[in-house]
Amino acid sequence: MLTQPTTDKILLAIADDLNAIVLPAVADEQAKVLLGQIDQLLRRLSRRSATEIAWMVEEIHAINETLGRKGKGVTNLLLADVAEQYSEASGALGDAIDEAFANNDEAMIGKLKNLLSLRIEKEQEILGQLDLVGRG
Amino acid sequence: MQDPSVMPEKIVALLEANGASDITVSGYEPMTGGYSRLMARFEASFTIGGNQESGSYVLRGDPPEGQAIIETNRSQEFAVIQAVSPFLNTPAARFLDADGAIIGTPALIIDFTEAESTLPWIEKNGASALPLKLAELSGAMHTIPVEKLPDVLTKPVSGDPLTDQILMWKQTAINHVEHLPIFRYVAAWLDANRPPSVPVSLVHHDFSTANMMVDGNGDLVVIDFELATIGDPREDLGYFKAYAQAAPPDLIDENPEIFLNRYREVTGFTEEQVNPVVMTYFLVLGVIGVVSQISNSGSAMARGETSSTGIAFNLDNLLFGQAAWMTATEALEKVLDGEVK
């Protein structure tokens, strides 16, 4: 397997070529909108592909630690399996949020909110600059 | 709908089916800007009900199956536009092909309005006149008598629009293809911090500068009622602010006092019912109608039931929303706790 250039770099190169070479050659307005969306998606996917497994694993650990969950660690690093475990941990986090609000447990709400803030920080790194391509 | 060589004939057939005669259709040209539906502009002249008409019209139809970013109903949209156009500055709905038997996809024809998209208009003319115009437009929309609206419009199932909207937040989190703890936090927070109620009204549900234009008189024109329901009118104000965060300017923030005073005057709502804090509450609550549609499409794509760049793009944009909602709840908490005024 050739690992270099890494996936994130290749995706970025595709986005740059679409933007610099393909877009100027396109006259159709709908195709331009689509290219604009593809450009943004590729740049986000580039950032995401470089780090997403590590981020998910890190967040699963943080959720398990905060909720005191034992034996729920990541068992392998296949993307689909990590994503499934990430969703499972997110579900447990959601249950804990409902319970904390139902009990008016402000200390717990604060702790859980910190976990969400960490998630949002990472999401913002992936998102970059937002441009609602195609909306007036 | 994208083929100008066949569409004029289909439009003629639709007009004939609706009782028009002496029909000519020309200048058919696909338009951009129809985010969720396909759109095209054309010129037509015809006789209907003994009256001769000619002018520009817009055909608005569903994209091919599996490519729609959101699923909505053209018959409902047609009925809503017909009901609201006597009360609002919006192009009239003229003809409907409910099942797409003639046009090839469910579609409606509306009058074309000689108006400019809002953002380019603001670049040229500035935004200072628009907070008042926005208050009048939204006030007019939110005071249309509910009994004048089509029965087909969704009403709050629980009898309380806030309860319904909060439930939709919870259901969206549950139905999505993966767990969404931020959605559950937002739902729980909204439930714990409800504002005083107001009477239900028409809610546009995609009330933003993207669905507005400015006409020759400098008045705002509102379009695109495909997501309309009956609910809490403040959902539209919140949605407007949420959209403006992603696509500035925020015409309410341009002059909140002028906007709020005029909006309260038109609607009769009190300061307790509509104020900056309540609008921020609805900034979060009001986006769930569109967000749940995006979530549904994204889940369908994840399951392999559909696929498009637009769906992936919109789903990804929810990341921006998640940050905005959490920021809004934090800001509101500080106000509610008396830390800031």
Nearest to A116 among B182, B246, B309 (CB): B182
**Residues 6 or more apart in contact with residue B264 via CB below 8 angstroms:** B270, B271, B274
- Are A98 and B192 in contact (CB < 8 Å)? no
B106 residue type, one letter: P
In tens digits, chain A (136 residues) has pLDDT values of: 899 999 999 999 999 999 999 999 999 988 999 999 999 999 999 999 999 999 999 999 999 999 999 988 888 999 999 999 999 999 999 999 999 999 999 999 999 999 999 999 999 888 876 666 655 4
Domain for residue A134, yes or no? no
Pairing relation of β-strands B51-61 and B107-111? antiparallel
**pLDDT computed for residue B10 by the predictor:** 95
Question: In which band, very low, low, confident or very high, does the pLDDT at B71 lie, cut at 50, 70 and 90?
Answer: confident
Spatial separation of the C-alpha atoms in residues A71 and A66, rounded to whole Å: 14
Q: If one looks up domain B116-336 in CATH, what number appears?
A: 3.90.1200.10
Amino acid, single-letter form, for residue A114: N
CA-CA distance, B281 to A9, in Å (whole number)? 41
CB contact under 8 A, B184 and A98: yes
| Shortest alpha-carbon distance between residue B18 and chain A (Å) | 31
How far apart are the CA of A52 and the nearest CA of chain B, in angstroms? 14
Boundaries of domain holding A87: 7-127
Q: Tell me, yes or no, whether A132 lies in a domain.
A: no
CATH of B7-112, one of 3.40.1110.10, 3.30.200.20, 2.60.40.640, 3.30.465.10: 3.30.200.20
Say if A27 falls within a structural domain. Answer: yes
Q: Reading across the β-sheet that carries B51-61, which strands appear in turn? A: B21-31, B38-48, B51-61, B107-111, B93-97
Are B251 and B209 a contacting pair, CB within 8 Å? yes
CA–CA separation, A21 vs A23, rounded Å? 6
pLDDT score, position B3? 79
More confident residue, A112 or B334: A112
Beta bridge partners of B93: B110
Q: Is residue A69 in some structural domain?
A: yes
Q: Of A113, A124, A136, which is closest to B33 when you measure between CB atoms? A: A136
A interface with B, Cβ–Cβ below 8 Å? 29-30, 33-34, 37-38, 40-41, 44, 83, 86-88, 90-91, 93-94, 97-98, 100-101, 112-113, 115-117, 119-120, 123-124, 126-127, 130, 132-136
| Predicted pLDDT at A5 | 95
- In a domain, residue A73? The reply is yes
Residue B281 near residue B193 (C-beta atoms within 8 A): yes
Token output for B21? 């005669």
Taking only the tens place, the pLDDT of each residue in B145-200 is 999 999 999 999 999 999 999 999 999 999 999 999 999 999 999 999 999 999 99
Q: What is the pLDDT of residues A42-67, one digit of tens each?
A: 999 999 999 999 999 999 999 999 99
**DSSP symbol at B217:** T
- The pTM score is 0.78
Are B32 and A98 in contact (CB < 8 Å)? no
Residues of chain B with CATH 3.90.1200.10: 116-336
Question: Of residues B180 and B338, which shows the higher confidence score?
Answer: B180
Percentage of residues in chain B having pLDDT higher than 90: 81
**Two tokens, residue A13:** 């190169």
In angstroms, the CA A62 to CA A86 distance is: 11
Token pair, residue A51, equals 């780090």
Residue A112 resides in a domain: yes
- CB atoms A29 and B32 under 8 Å: yes
Given a contact cutoff of 8 angstroms between Cβ atoms, the answer to whether B213 and B221 are in contact is yes
* Residue A133, pLDDT score: 63
Residue B256's alpha-carbon distances to B135, B141, B206, B279, B340, in angstroms, are: 10, 19, 20, 11, 18
Task: Give the DSSP H or E segment for B163.
Answer: helix B161-175
Contact status of B172 with chain A (Cβ, < 8 Å): no
Q: What is the pLDDT of residue A134?
A: 59
Burial state string for B25-56 with b = 16 or more CB within 10 A and e = fewer than 16 = beebebbebbbbbbbbebbbebebeeeeeeee
* A90, A63 Cβ separation under 8 angstroms: yes
Q: How far apart are CA B28 and CA B48, in angstroms?
A: 21
Instruction: Give the integer Cα–Cα distance in Å for B287 and B205.
Output: 8
Q: Is B322 on the interface with A (CB under 8 A)?
A: yes
* Pick among A32, A67, A101 to test the B interface (most B CBs inside 10 A): A101
CA angle B244, B248, B249 (to 5 degrees): 100
Beta-strand pair B115-117/B212-215: antiparallel
The answer to whether B105 touches B64, Cβ cutoff 8 Å, is yes
Q: Is the ipTM of this complex over 0.90?
A: yes
- Asked if residue A135 is part of any domain, the answer here is no
Contacts of B173 in chain A (CB under 8 A): 94
CA distances (Å), origin B127, targets A3, A90, B265: 52, 43, 21
* Nearest C-alpha in A relative to B243: A132
Q: How many C-beta atoms surround the C-beta of residue B8 within 10 A? A: 18
Instruction: Mark yes or no for CB contact A130/B192 under 8 Å.
Output: no
A90 vs B192: CB contact, 8 Å cut-off?
Answer: no
Number of domains in chain A: 1
Cα B192 off chain centre by: 27
Given this model, what pLDDT does residue A59 score? 96
Instruction: At B141, give phi and psi (nearest 5°).
Output: -65, -40
Contact B189 A101 (CB under 8 A): yes
Classify A78 as helix, strand or coil. Answer: coil
